[in-house]
A and B are shown apart, each in its own frame.
Chain A
């Protein structure tokens, strides 16, 4: 079967760094997405990883280890507007998206 685990909620301080972890189990893998979703709004694309390693995009970076079934999203220089849910999304062998429940990130001043 397929399963995605990520923490339900995290709290961090403005200006700090936070790492949101995601672990998964799947029989087939074609990549992993991270989406950001502000409350009451639609998800927006942040990153896509299909090979092992770190992908950096401005303040956000995403890491993948396929052998460990593990990914993380790293957010640097946190801003209040980064308060949102972050969804780890698996692309399975049929190119179907398997969505995690999301991690609600709360930023405090």
Chain B
């Protein structure tokens, strides 16, 4: 089945230790998104890629970076995780941003910062 895959499902890191979360998709969608979601809050968009074009949200901290080496894969790098970065990180895909396209989400990676 076509899907969005996130690894790992749970990630534990230490304060200040860089961590990378990965996302892959078999839907062949050209748009990929990274969201941060804290408990009982709405998902917060960090950035998205339209093909290789990177779009950063204005309030996304510099501590968060992303890479998209090809259509199928997208990575979220947190350079120096703080305690406040503990959250669920959701990857999503869609076919374009030019219209009301449904976003398809991966299962998420829950990040714990010690």
Q: Which residues of A does B touch, CB under 8 Å? A: 30-31, 33, 40-45, 48, 50, 87, 91, 95-97, 99-102, 104
B103 in contact with A31 (CB, 8 Å): no
Task: Find the B residue at minimum CB distance from A104.
Answer: B40
Interface residues of B, CB < 8 Å — how many?
21
Stretch in B11-19, B61-69, B92-100 with 4+ CB within 8 Å of A? B92-100
Top 8 nearest A-B pairs (CB, nearest first) are A42-B105, A99-B42, A31-B100, A45-B102, A101-B42, A42-B108, A42-B107, A43-B105
Q: Which residues of B does A touch, CB under 8 Å? A: 40-45, 88, 90, 92, 97-100, 102-108, 110
| Minimum Cβ distance to chain B for residue A56 (Å) | 18
A40 in contact with B105 (CB, 8 Å): no
Task: Find the B residue at minimum CB distance from A89.
Answer: B42
Task: Find the B residue at minimum CB distance from A91.
Answer: B100
Mind listing 29 A-B residue pairs with CB under 8 Å? A30-B100, A31-B100, A33-B102, A40-B88, A40-B108, A40-B110, A41-B108, A42-B90, A42-B92, A42-B105, A42-B106, A42-B107, A42-B108, A43-B90, A43-B105, A48-B102, A50-B100, A91-B100, A95-B98, A95-B99, A95-B100, A97-B103, A99-B42, A99-B43, A101-B40, A101-B42, A102-B40, A102-B42, A104-B40
Q: A40-B108, A41-B108, A42-B107 are in contact. List 12 more A-B contacts (CB 8 A).
A: A30-B100, A33-B102, A40-B110, A42-B108, A50-B100, A87-B42, A97-B45, A97-B103, A99-B42, A101-B40, A102-B40, A104-B40
